[in-house]
Chains A and B, each alone.
Chain A
Amino acid sequence: MMAGAHEHSARFDELLPAYALGALDGDDLRELEAHIAAGCAECWRQIDLWQGDLEALATTVEPVMPSAELRERVLRAVDDRPPIGRISPVGPIDPIRPRRPIRSSRWLAIAATLLLVVAVWGVWRQARLSAERDNLERQVASLERRLEQTQADNRRLAKTLSLITAPGARAIQLAGLGPAQGAVGHAFVNPTTGQAIVYAFDLPAPAAGKTYQLWWIPAGRPPVPAGTFDVDAHGAARLEVDKVADAAEPKTWAVTLEPAGGLPQPSGPIVLKG
């Protein structure tokens, strides 16, 4: 049995892609429009699907950024118009399509869609703000670390200054010896408190398994270990000694190269002495 004009058929399936594309003309167009006007739901369903495909085709163009002036002009023009839904009826969006009755529920639908767009934008913005906050938190943490470092440096400098400027403070120059001929050092001793600070410069990095060890040597007695230390990339080191016995008495200061961890008595070569 032949399909009637109002009955959907494969013939219309073949016309619909070109119809959605706007390419249909002549008798084909008249035939399909008559069929659609009769209220074929299947045709509308297919047209919507084809429009979706055409949307994909439209996205193949290169985007062109509107100028700020154009943006402002458009938004200003929009502001001058009545809000959504208060405009008088206008012609169909697609001139070749019959108009459909407007359902009031579409108001809700469009409002929901616009809200969704705003919500998506909100989520995106929230993500950006969150990333920005994380970045700021990292910067704050970094600044806090630098502040702590600076404060520690200040405390150390204050301590050094206090020791050096203490009444009767003694300064001893240390000279490089043996494998560290170019090295120099300074020892500052507070004879009242017995505190001492020793600086070393231009010492070569010790070999693996080795370390530098500081000694103070009372006259006529064996050396007393005062701590081990490593040097930084520039061969420099700073060492604090909490208590030197009989600090007011003259002493010799020395640095030797020892096995890691140090020894109770020196065994390696002297690299600094004074």
Chain B
Amino acid sequence: MAEIFDLHSPLVLGLLFRILGRRSEAEEILQEVFLQVWTQAGRYDPDRASPRGWILMLARSRALDRIRRRDSSRRREEEVAGDPLLAAVHPVGTERLEAVERKSRVHSALDLLAPEQRRCIELAFFEGLTHTQIAERLQAPLGTVKSRILLGMNKLRQALGS
């Protein structure tokens, strides 16, 4: 388990921090996520996702649950402003090369999206907003938001697959 934790926890904690905006909360969820990995490993299906993907999606799901439970906007704006404990790390060695290559590929794919498409996808993915909530947040028609997400996701897939 220690190996799995060492391998995946920096990215998982990064994702949790990105979603929650508060390190203490991110660390709390991180612990819950790895406990869940340990106790629910039987639910993992290698045909459906990589171990990293499974753990990341567990983390995202838990983080979004937490966001939905709290009166999000005020606290989030307060905390995102700056957490002195935040310590982004830069992996070393092959891990760093791999991370750079991976991020570069995904960022290139994201760069192909129109800014409004990317914005809609990020609001859904990192903030857990639905079509309706995104439309409200962006003051955009609901149909437009749906269309942006559909087109953006398809474009993302094409870019990642190319």
Contact = CB atoms under 8 A, between A and B. Distances in A.
A61 B11 contact: yes
Contacts of B26: 64
B138 interface: no
A84 B106 contact: no
A77 B37 CA distance: 12
B52 interface: yes
A110 B38 contact: no
Given A25-B132, A26-B132, A53-B157, A58 B56 contact: yes
B21 to A, nearest CB: 12
A3 interface: no
Contacts of A73: 31
Contacts of B18: 61-62
A18 B39 contact: no
Interface string B9-28: 11101110110000100110
Interface residues of chain A: helix, strand, loop or mixed (majority): helix
B88 A64 contact: yes
B71 interface: no
Given A63-B99, A78-B38, A23 B130 contact: yes
Contacts of B41: 84-85, 110, 114
Contacts of A124: 94
A73 B47 CA distance: 31
Contacts of B61: 93-95
Contact of A117 (B4, B11, B27): B4
Nearest to B26: A64
Contacts of B45: 106, 109
Interface residues of A, number: 57
B75 interface: no
B13 A63 contact: yes
A110 B45 CA distance: 7
A114 B8 CA distance: 13
A90 B40 contact: yes
A263 interface: no
Contact of B50 (A49, A54, A55, A65): A55
B80 interface: no
Interface string A70-85: 1101110110011011
Interface in A117-143: 117-118, 121, 124
B123 to A, nearest CB: 8
A219 interface: no
Interface in A17-74: 17-18, 21-26, 28, 48-66, 70-71, 73-74
A70 B64 contact: no
Nearest to A63: B10
Interface in B89-106: 89-91, 94, 99, 102-103, 105-106
14 contacts: A18-B146, A23-B129, A55-B53, A57-B125, A58-B11, A58-B53, A58-B125, A59-B106, A64-B26, A74-B34, A84-B41, A102-B42, A106-B43, A114-B4
Interface of B: 1-7, 9-11, 13-15, 17-18, 23, 26-27, 30-31, 34-36, 38-53, 56-58, 60-61, 64-65, 86-91, 94, 99, 102-103, 105-107, 109-110, 120-121, 124-125, 128-134, 146, 149-150, 153-154, 156-157, 160
